[in-house]
Amino acid sequence: MPLGITRDHHALTTTMREWAESIDGTAAIRSAEHDAEATVAKVWAEVTSMGLTAIVLPETEGGGGSDLVDQAIALEAAARGLVPGPLLVTSVVGSIAARVSTPAAAAVVRRIAAGERAAIALDGSVRLGTDRVEGTVAVAVDATDADWLLVCTDERAWLLVPCGGWSGSTAVGLDLSTRAGGLSISAAREHVVELTGVDDGLVAAHVVTLAAAEASGLASWCLDTAVEYAKVREQFGAPIGSFQAVKHLCSAMLETTESIAAAAWDAATVLAEGDDADAISFAVDVAATVAFSGAVQVAQDCVQVLGGIGFTFEHDAHLYLRRAIALRAVVGAVAGRADQAAARLTSAAATGRRRELEVDFAGADEPFRSRTRAALAEIAALPEHDRRGALVDAGYLMPHLAAPYGLGAGPVEQVVIDAELVRAGLQRPDLKIGGWAVPTIIAHGTDAQRERFVRPTLEGAIVWCQLFSEPGAGSDLASLSTRAERVDGGWSLTGQKVWTSLAHEADWAICLARTNREVAKHRGITFFLVDMRSEGLEVRPLREMTGDAMFNEVFLDGVLVPDDCVVGEVDAGWNVSRTTLSSERVAMAGTKLGVSTERAVALAAGRPDAVVRVGHQVALATVCQLIGVRATLRSIAGRGPGPESSVAKLLGVRNRQEASDLVGELLGPRILLGGQVDVDADVHEMLLTRCLSIAGGTTQVLRNVVAERVLGLPR
């Protein structure tokens, strides 16, 4: 998915992508290899006519007056089309200069809005004297025909040196879409624009944010190119996209691409708001940690999927790989390497900093919020044992359900209710499997079933478990063999279920059993409600590697299930099990980084060897939250579901497993000691997280599903 979320952002993305494609950036880059000046000048005329470097500049200075998110969206689309020239650097310089309240800076902003270009000095020694600015620059990017050079002096002052204030030459290097070279600077101080109030942090924030937007564009092109090729390239008589190894590689590319987009979007969003330095530095460091190494990896994986054709100069893949590596180098020179950003994240997290995102509904939520706040205040004032029933009566327990069980709340209302529950000090009870059973019964059950099961479940009188998985049917659930045979008044169920959480506590179970062996395996399954106290049903606890017995085996030996406990049509249980209500549950992510990541932050104190690795987990945990937030905001914007839920599960599992393993490593020999509460909890979490890449479908199967259903690769 692209960086932008709202409908306006989607429209801007579409327009910008169409424009970038019309430029034919890769053809221009190939031409520029022999005639850089003429090619860049021609492309720059197109850039100027579109006003791309002026999007974020004030209208009073000839700019578009939009925010930095719009500028980032434009850069993302331009990078996807590999538009050559100094668009990134010029956008950075214009945005920074627009923050400086001096007539000289305002003049630069006007000239950039009119089409002048900027370059940036990455390394060297420049001195700001009384009358002149003198020095040398080892590496300057986009200096060919530039009008301004952004440079930092040895005294950490940021300046804009005008054309004529430097000399030197640039040449074709790694990135064929730009030029770099060494320069000698000698300019009268009166001609130099001093960017008063601009410091290293502000420059780094703009460079990282807008470069991360470009990284998102590069990664999206590489992902799409790899996927499209995998659909048609045949080897061994089949498209290579049907091979599991290629599916998994493309799915991993999607995970990284979504992570880059989320981090770039957040950095642009918080920098556009511009009034919280801690939030800016945290979001920017997350982007610096994940975006640039991520873009390089996706570009490398693209070449891998393409195979031999991807290694040729004729294919465009290497141009994207070159740009991604160049972006990583530019950002590293200005803002530090990814590991340095990760170390800063650990330090920030240790002081309590987190990303806290709020939704601005522009006042549209106020009438509903006021009513909700008043109602929840009344419920909070009740005795504790009466609150759950009151939440059920008011529809707040599962507000996304239709009345009379909920409020039929849409995304906006659900987010408001969650926020107001926290404000009122109320905690919504966790229905666990009941949270899955209730919507299914409402959607597919009879009136009698809804009357019998829904409200008691909401009130906590009925606890549910799920009899789905079997020893021979885990990820491939449709292969289940538990059979249901017609008997007088109902069905007789015989078989074995496994990995059943809460079976030893449950009152009822939702159960899938095979009722027809003569049809395709998905079509001969029926959805049953099973009384866990039924004769012929035996529950045996399964002790896990943690030592707990949360899971169970359940044996069914002629268990009678009456006809009134069949949900939906006989033989149509697979569709019942896969169906969700059209009004889906949405929620904003919290600010906690997860148990193990938070614990790793605490253990990293005074451990220089650990801060980088912990910082990478902080970044990953934050990205997981951002992807969830973006999914919610997409729902609020009415744009429907994207790939976020599958990506969030894959990344979330990875984060919890990696972070808990890191905690175990940081404990050192203490991990061998039993009887210490904190260590015992860490060990338990480390062992428990091993099940996350298995439960609910293995990571490998989920990657297959993502590759086929999201990316469209063949089976």
Secondary structure letter of residue 65 according to DSSP: -
Question: What DSSP line would sit under 168-202, residue for residue?
Answer: E--B--S-TTS-EEEEEEEEEGGGSEE-TT--HHH
Q: Which two tokens stand for residue 689?
A: 């997280």
Distances (CA, A) of 320 to 25, 193, 216: 11, 34, 12
Which residues face 494 on adjacent strands?
A: 483, 557
Q: Residue 597 is inside which H or E element, if any?
A: helix 595-603
Q: Residue 520 is inside which H or E element, if any?
A: none
Helix (H, G, I), strand (E, B) or coil at 607: coil
Q: Residue 525 is inside which H or E element, if any?
A: strand 525-531
Mark whether 584 is an active-site residue.
Answer: yes
Q: 311-318 — which CB contacts under 8 Å span 24+ positions? A: 316/26, 316/82, 316/225, 317/222, 317/225
Separation CA 231–CA 239 (nearest Å): 6
Separation CA 407–CA 33 (nearest Å): 62
From 46, 584, 665, 708, active-site residue:
584
Nearest residue to 151 via CA among 131, 123, 111, 178: 123
Q: 412-416 — which CB contacts under 8 Å span 24+ positions? A: 412/361, 412/364, 412/365, 412/368, 412/636, 413/368, 414/585, 414/586, 414/587, 415/359, 415/586, 415/587, 415/588, 415/632, 415/636, 416/365, 416/368, 416/369, 416/372
Residues 216, 264: contact at Cβ < 8 Å? yes
Residue indicated by tokens 């044996």: 555
Residue indicated by tokens 């006007």: 110
Give backbone dihedrals phi and psi of 522, rounded to 5 degrees, phi first: -75, -20
- Known catalytic residues are 584
